[in-house]
Amino acid sequence: MSKKKRRLILLFLLFAVSNSFSQEADSVTTSSLFDLSLEDLMNVEIVSAVKQSQNITDAPSVVSVVTENQIKERGYLSVDEALNSIAGLDIITDHYQPNMGIRGINGGLRSWSRLLKVMIDGQSVSFRSNSDNYIDASLIPIEAIEKIEIIRGPNSALYGKNAFLGVVNIITKSGSRLKNASISHYLASINENSSFGLSTIWGGKREHIDFLFASSYAQIDKSGLTPYNVPGSNIYSEFDKAQDNEANPLSTFLKLTYEKENIGKIVFDANQQIINSHAEFLDWGTLTHNNNISIFNGYERLTYTKNFFENFNTVFSFAHASGKPLKHEILDTDADPSEWIERDVGYTSYDLSADVSYSFDEINNFSVGIDYTSDIHDHQKYYTVNSAGIRTLNPGGSEGIKNFNNLGIYLQMIFNAAEFFNFSYLNDLTLTAGYRFDYHNIYGDVLTYRIAAVYGINDKLSTKVMYGTSFNAPSPVQLYTNYIVPGGIVGNPDLQPERAKTLEWAFIGKIIDNLNFNTSVFYTEIDNKIEYLLPYGQTSNITAENVSNIYSAGIETELNANFYNNSAYLNYSYQKSILEKTDPVLEKIRINTPLYPSHMLKFGDIYHFHDYFVNINLEGKFISSRIASDQNNFIYDPINYATNRYELDPYFLFDLTISSTNLQIFNQGKTKISLKIQNLFDSNHYYPGFYNYDISGLGRTFYFRFTQYI
């Protein structure tokens, strides 16, 4: 039987099973998912904008939210899939890790989503040796997520370093909110390779103790992909394919909560990531068929919350985080099996923080916080190892200071303008001001601030104006690493933090009862942008330098609607970013930033068939053309690579998810069955690469998922 026929039969069985068990379903519960989704988006309480619960329409930031229901009904399997539906965010991949850019800017070579601060319940989850955020399936079991809060724009005034161009805060469920424990399994066909995933979550509440535990594991095989040659080049043929290109992301999350009125609230949470990937498309070791990048990254945290006095809220937190390669990691820069690369890198971190806030009333609030972080680093060192076991340190880099210590103090005030200035006509105007001072023993002190005004036009519409500054600290790897291959990246201990200032305007609200919108306009200036200087006649190795400025502007519009049996979204973003730098030949130049599309259109619609108890979700995205990387443009035109640059073609992608609702196959609980087809029309598309080729996207991919609720 052909694969196509098997897939059609699978689709038929999904509908048949859904229909056969629909008689016992609770249609009221099912339809309420759609009734609530729009209200959730308008009235959801968020915590990321000011570190306190606040309605999204009142938040002094440009905020988007992906809810638990949306994750479930759209069939998202990882955080990066959910983020890729948000206006102003763009994700490219080398099939090792997603690399998320924002508002016209991507971190570039060996930067995996380091332009944003990614957190779980306010705790940073970056691999601190290189500041990268691993946002694939290894980050957190998707079932543990209650919502994902995305703030576009600066937030260093609240969160310090690396809250540079945005913040992603993953809010987890509590055991008491978990309606049912579940176990979920999926089978997949990826590039005609078999893959699978398994996840589970359970929790509950007994007296004063609330607990939640979730875990996930997957085996994802992306073998068979071929590098896409730079125009005019024929380095790779159709026979050059990724082999055994398998990844095995593993994640666990635990949260224990004890709460009693006279004692307060004590929360212990822990998250562990294991990244395990053969990574066939990295710039230093393409198609060697012998790479195995294996990393542990995780944290444990204890948080205590207590109102010691009326209207005073205090939060104390202590966290321990660590990360390092695992023993079976092996890096291979060529096809010679007699010699390979090993690396020593890792960190141990301690985070201590205290936050105190006083609420005068429901609006007026004053907060002060202090935090201290100590990162103890084993700076990255690459060694060449041969079959005889001889280990030789590669050249380049420097020792550097191992202890990175940062002290941060912030002040924040939220107040109603009418009471503060005694003007009654300002009753609907709320002002927010925040300042933060960071002192770091490596790169010195940084002062950041933000001011915002939110005006409620009426009970359905509000507008916001915001201005803020932020900074992105150089990572230990950027400062001190030696090279993995001759001509590769070496550290620069003289790097300074990247700094940004952003002006934003937003308009948010309901047009009619079944339609809401969120529109924002932004302008950002970045100073001291870190660029990797190419070694072509300038230096012997690629080196990171503070050599450019970026001027970025754009508009983002999001629409969400409920009508009949549909729950739909549509968003569009336009971004124009200009990079200004000094070129050794052309002197001062101003060019469009590479790697990022100017136009992005994303949309989706869930349709519920009441009679068959089936949801059909169709999502799509249009990504316009983007300029290739500097590294590949040098291959394209070695003389004029700074200005004569080629572009990757635009593309459309569509995903289809068909899922059952309220099946009762077993007596223990409900069952959910879903079929997801990514890249439904098998469109060819390519992501920017960084070593004489661009990276092929995945073709049509099938996921069959079975979830049993207990």
pLDDT tens for 597-655 read 999 999 999 998 878 889 999 999 999 999 999 989 999 998 888 889 999 999 999 99
Residues 644, 629: Cα–Cα separation, whole Å: 12
Residue-level pLDDT at 7: 43
pLDDT for residue 580? 92
Average pLDDT, the chain: 89
Q: Is 286 helix (H, G, I), strand (E, B) or coil?
A: coil
DSSP secondary structure of 40-93 = HHHH-EE-TTTSS-EETTT-SSEEEEEEHHHHHHHT--SHHHHHTTSTTEEEEE
Among 34-48, 357-371, 634-648, 666-680, the minimum mean pLDDT is found in 34-48
Predicted local distance difference test score (pLDDT) of residue 513: 80
* Each residue's pLDDT tens digit, 11-35: 334 333 333 333 333 333 333 334 4
Q: Please list, in sequence order, all residues whose beta carbon lies within 8 angstroms of the beta carbon of residue 43, skipping any fewer than 6 positions away.
A: 55, 56, 57
- Answer yes or no: is pLDDT of 3 > 70: no
Condensed to tens digits (0 to 9), the pLDDT of residues 229-266 reads 999 999 999 899 999 899 999 999 999 999 998 899 99
Confidence at residue 532, expressed as pLDDT on a 0 to 100 scale = 82
DSSP assignment of 91-155 equals: EEE-SSSEEEEETTB---TT-SSTTSEEEETTEE-SBTTTTB---STTSS-GGGEEEEEEEES--
What pLDDT band is residue 363 in, cutting at 50, 70 and 90?
confident
| 289 SS3 class | coil
pLDDT in tens, 187-236: 999 999 999 999 999 999 998 999 999 999 999 999 999 999 999 999 99
Most confident of 46-60, 110-124, 656-670: 110-124
Whole-number Cα distances in Å, 307 to 10, 185, 310, 358: 55, 43, 7, 10
Strand, coil or helix: what is 33? helix
Q: Is the pLDDT of residue 587 over 80?
A: no
How distant, in Å, are the alpha carbons of 15, 39, 232, 588, 685 from that of 562? 24, 10, 49, 51, 32
In this structure, whether the domain defined by 3-709 belongs to CATH 1.10.760.10 is answered with: no
- Give the pLDDT confidence of 469-514 residue by residue, as tens digits: 999 999 999 999 999 988 888 999 999 999 999 999 999 998 888 8
The string of pLDDT tens digits covering residues 69-117 is 999 989 999 999 999 999 999 999 999 999 999 999 999 888 899 999 9
Each residue of 311-336: pLDDT tens digit? 889 999 999 999 999 998 999 988 78
Across-strand partners of 54?
Answer: 46
- Start-to-end Cα distance in the chain: 35
Of 455, 539, 426, 459, which Cα lies nearest the Cα of 491? 539
Q: Are strands 542-563 and 489-490 parallel, antiparallel or unpaired?
A: parallel
pLDDT of residue 109: 87
Domain map (residue ranges) of the chain: 3-709
